[in-house]
Structure 1
Amino acid sequence: MQITEFNTPEGLAVTDPEIPVVLEASTGRELPVREVIGDDLAHLMQLRMAVATSNQEDRALYLCPECFVPLALLSRKERRRFWFKHTLEDGRCSAVTRGELTQEEINARKYNGAKESFLHRQMKQWLVESLYANGRFADIASEQRWTGSVTGAWRKPDVSAQLENLKFAFEVQLSTTFLDVIAERRRFYTLEGGLLFWVFAHFEDDGRRLTQDDVFYNNNQNAFIVSQATRDASRAAGKFLLDCVWSEPGHGNAEPVLRRQRVSFDELTLDQEKQQVYFFDYAGAQARRVADEAAERASWPTRFEAWWLQVAGSYSSLYDQEHEVHQFPQCVPKDWNDWGLISLTPLRFYGKDMRLPVAMLNCFYSAKHGRPVGLNRKHFIEVAHYLAESYPRYLMWFRRALAVYDRAPLLKQQDKTGNWAKRVKAYLPDMHADPEKYTADQKHQRLFEYLFPELLPLPASPNEAL
């Protein structure tokens, strides 16, 4: 199996498009082209197919906001940079996006030229011979007319064959720019209950033609190659063999990985509704990866808490704790940033320019656990007195923590002298009289919201808290 890593490009829109804003037909919103195109190539290739298909079905996704003509999504040949183009250029709009030939004329020339090529004829023959070698396919034919019982239209696929209750249309993909042809065929075979199966003569790791990626990204990121070698292997094995190229999601922030392997047709998943045939389920793997990463991210506050409790338990004084975390984030476990525990969370703001609020983290973890954490105090009520006396700007959040963690019974039990009750009775009217004194210190708000999500929403002023 061959493995190749490939990069996803950034900034996929042309720098100065003729149509800088498009009208989203379903909502009536005007959207910047850069926002619509984005920087995710896989998503964009699927969007190209959706735009082409919707235009053919007379339900355009995007319109020109000036002339309301449906728009197509194109790319420059020499570099992957995309823009929107009028499907009809009749002079009514100030944005001129048409070249000397229409896209339909260009597509027709290239497609017809490729159809007549020697390689195209040879690949059809290899396909037919490979299907016969399998022994399971029936009605194998080349260039046989397929008349639709639903649409009334007809097509003539390169090779057609029947496997049990499913009829296949095999098309050899050799041309350069005919997205509309691809979209139109997908729609025809979807409506007619058939399954379109594109095959390539080759599929490069880099520098592929745009039309190859139009097929690849809309086929669950799988591509299939038919050659003399696969034909010979099919004959020898007595089954239909193809060379498959697919991508697998990378781990963490890594880019997808491109893999290659010779596979049997029997190993493929056939999805007539989506018009997809694939060996590796990229969408499923990506969904599992997203779920795994979500579960991992959900555990990050707990992992930070465990580390903090260890630090707090190892050093009895705030001075020693602050010294220990002075080099944050270098002092944390090495695996924290494998999936972004630091780089993708508010922890990324802490380091030389901003230090972790050691005392306040100790106070809030004390509230969560109902005992002093990292503070040289014997009882939890002493922690409450310490915060109310020394950090009034955190008192509203602390009151929120006391309510969420249900610490009122504990405070009442430990308030043997009644001093806590007296303090509460004193600071409540003071909050009304001097709200500025108790207004939350928002410097660390994102950190506390992240580490203590159960406390959301954190009040910003006494008026919100009382």
Structure 2
Amino acid sequence: MTLDEFMEGRDYGEVVRDGRLAAELEMLDGTPRYACPYCKDAMAVRSKAIRARSEIRFYFDHLTARHRETCTGRKGHLPKAILARKFCLHKEGALHKAFKQWVRDSLDADPAFTSTKEEERWWDMEHYKWRQPDVQTTRDGRRWAIEIQLSTTFVHVIAERMKFYRENAGHMLWLFKDLDLETFRLSEDDLFFSNNRNAFRVTPRTVERSRREGRFYLEGAWLEPRLKGGTIKDVEVRKDVAFDALVFDTCSRGIPRAYAFDYEGHKALTEKEQTAWREAQVWERRRNAFESFYVAMLRGEIEDYKERDRLWDELRRSFAEVGITLPQYAQEDTELDRLLVAGYSAKHGQRKPIGIGFETLAELGHHIHKVWPKTLWFYRCMLRAYGQLRTVLDQDRTGKLQGKMKQVLASLSDGEPAFQPQRSWDPLLARLFPEVAGVWAADPSQVAKAVLLASERLVSEADMT
């Protein structure tokens, strides 16, 4: 696998998680994922010493020192030598001591924690290997190692600790010196992005809260994906969070993690929202193009037949992409054309229909009732959606149309077929008129019953007064 192939489709945080810490754990488990094409030695994604959170900082390198000089030409000290020079014979810093005391004070304030110790060895099952966590404690019969990340730590050291505690019935919580996410060093990024983009620390303030409430509190910072204008943006959130409210699990790449906010889960949901938003935008453009064409055609604004056929062909291709087959020619399908005349008249006709020679919407209603009975229910749905029922009632001076509509409602309520709508164009109508998609998809018989019951209730209440 090339670096470009590895980077494709991953953001910076996923590269850190999948290419660095996960690769280290897999190597420790004896199942390295990436190998050098020349010497077959295990490899991982490494980083240049630059601040940019960008793919330009990453490169593949060997995980072990065995073939570095002969295969990659790397020079300089090995990680163990650097660590030795950095920490050997150096006394523990005052800040580190202070952090350990804050953790200890927080744990002591919460009666759920017992057997809390600082800087004591944690032996493996065979009492052969050991680690010395900053703080270790017990809660609900489970042992916890709490490590405080104050300085640069090689990714393989982090992975080794995770592997040790995982294999020796232990659980880990990493704490940070500060929570300025923008200035995290790569070693902090290794933990942050592998920790579901969550970071935690203790401070004198959280210690006081832990004492006050008798519950171990931490200050947390995490990223939350938000959809804004079709783009997913990560928003930083800071909150105090109780230890018992954290989720401890293992990610899909086998990395133990602790988090208050499930970034990966919410990112997946947000990506679905983004896909739906983009599809809605595409459909809105497609719907607007269809509506502009059809309304203009009904109003006689497209006089050139060749131009009309060309525009209709474009619409046919566009709708064919989403599985909807339009007639070969505009207005060729009589049933569809009636529905569109009724729908667009209700939406754009104001007090006068379009595409048909009537002066009022009420006249169109009489015509549909008599000649297009299967279209009448859709016409009523559109009139209601666009507030045109009152217009039709005002135009119906004799009250005849109102009487007909009551008969139609009674017929639909009884399940009679005369005014039951045709359903062959439902997929198209639902897309062209989303404002009525819900009621249009419902059973007209049930809707008619509800309307009649509501009318009877109003009449009854009027009689009582």
Q: Please indicate the TM-score interval, normalised by the length of the shorter structure.
A: 0.5 to 0.7
What fraction of aligned residue pairs are identical, expressed as a percent? 29
Aligned partner of 1:33 in structure 2 is: 3
Give the whole-Å Cα distance in 2 for the aligned partners of 1:322 and 1:66. 71
Instruction: Map 1:39-438 onto structure 2 (within 5 A).
Output: 40-46=11-17, 47-80=19-52, 81-86=57-62, 87-90=64-67, 93-97=70-74, 99-110=75-86, 116-149=92-125, 153-251=129-227, 252-271=230-249, 274-297=255-278, 299=280, 302-316=283-297, 320=301, 358-363=311-316, 368=324, 375=330, 379=334
The 2-side partners of 1:322 and 1:146 are apart by 87
For 1:207 and 1:175, locate their aligned partners in 2 and report how far apart those are by CA, in whole Å.
Answer: 13
Query: Are the equivalent residues in 1 in contact too, given 2:22–2:255 (CA < 8 A)?
Result: no
Residue-by-residue CA offset, 1:28-55 (whole Å, 9 max, x unaligned)? xxx3223324562111111211121222
SS at match of 2:261: coil
Q: Indicate if the aligned counterparts of 2:136 and 2:143 stay in contact, CA closer than 8 A.
A: yes
Name the CA shift for 1:113/1:304 in 2 (closer, same or farther; >3 Å): farther
Number of aligned residue pairs: give it: 320
Change (3 A) 1:359 1:60: same
Q: Provide the C-alpha distance between the structure 2 equivalents of 1:279 and 1:369, rounded to a whole number of angstroms.
A: 49
Counterpart residue identity of residue 234, structure 2: P
The TM-score normalised by the length of structure 1 is 0.61
CA distance in 2: counterparts of 1:204 and 1:164, whole angstroms: 32
Provide closer, same or farther for how the CA distance between residues 32 and 134 of structure 1 changes in structure 2, counting only shifts above 3 A.
same
Distance in 2 (alpha carbons) for counterparts of 1:107 and 1:127: 25
Aligned CA distance change for structure 1 residues 112 and 231 (closer, same or farther; 3 Å): farther
2:36 and 2:6 map into 1 onto residues whose CA distance is 13
Does the residue aligned with 1:182 lie in a helix, a strand or coil?
helix
Name 1:419's counterpart in structure 2. none
Q: CA deviation at 1:256?
A: 1.0
CA displacement, residues 161-211 of structure 1 (integer Å, 9 cap, x when unaligned): 111032210001112131111111111112223211000111213221111
Query: RMSD value over aligned CA atoms?
Result: 3.5
TM-score in terms of structure 2 length: 0.61
Give CA deviations for 1:87-128 in whole Å, capped at 9, x if unaligned.
22557735312x321022223444668882221121111101
For residues 3-41 of structure 1, give each alpha carbon's deviation from its aligned partner in whole angstroms, at most 9, with x where no partner exists.
xxxxxxxxxxxxxxxxxxxxxxxxxxxx32233245621
Describe the SS at the equivalent of 1:315: helix
Deviation at 1:241, TM superposition (A): 1.4
1:7 counterpart residue number: none
- Deviation digits for residues 397-425 of structure 1 (CA, Å, limit 9, x no counterpart): xxxxxxxxxxxxxxxxxxxxxxxxxxxxx
* Structure 1 residue 244, shift from structure 2 partner: 0.3
Higher relative contact order (CA 8 A, sep 6+): 1
CA distance in 1, matches of 2:127, 2:13: 31
Residue pair 2:65, 2:78 contacting (<8 A) in 1 also: no
Query: Which stretch of structure 1 is more off in the superposition, 229-238 or 173-182?
Result: 229-238
The 8 Å contact of residues 150 and 192 in structure 1, kept in 2 or not, is answered as no
Equivalent residue, structure 2, for 1:433 = none
Amino acid paired to 1:34: D
Tell me, in whole angstroms, the C-alpha distance in 2 between the residues paired with 1:381 and 1:217: 54
Q: Which amino acid aligns with 1:43?
A: E
Gaps of 5+ in 2: 338-430, 432-465
Q: Which amino acid aligns with 2:33?
A: L
Taking structure 1 as reference, are residues 44 and 360 closer, same or farther at Cα in structure 2, changes over 3 Å only? Answer: same
Provide closer, same or farther for how the CA distance between residues 113 and 358 of structure 1 changes in structure 2, counting only shifts above 3 A.
Answer: farther
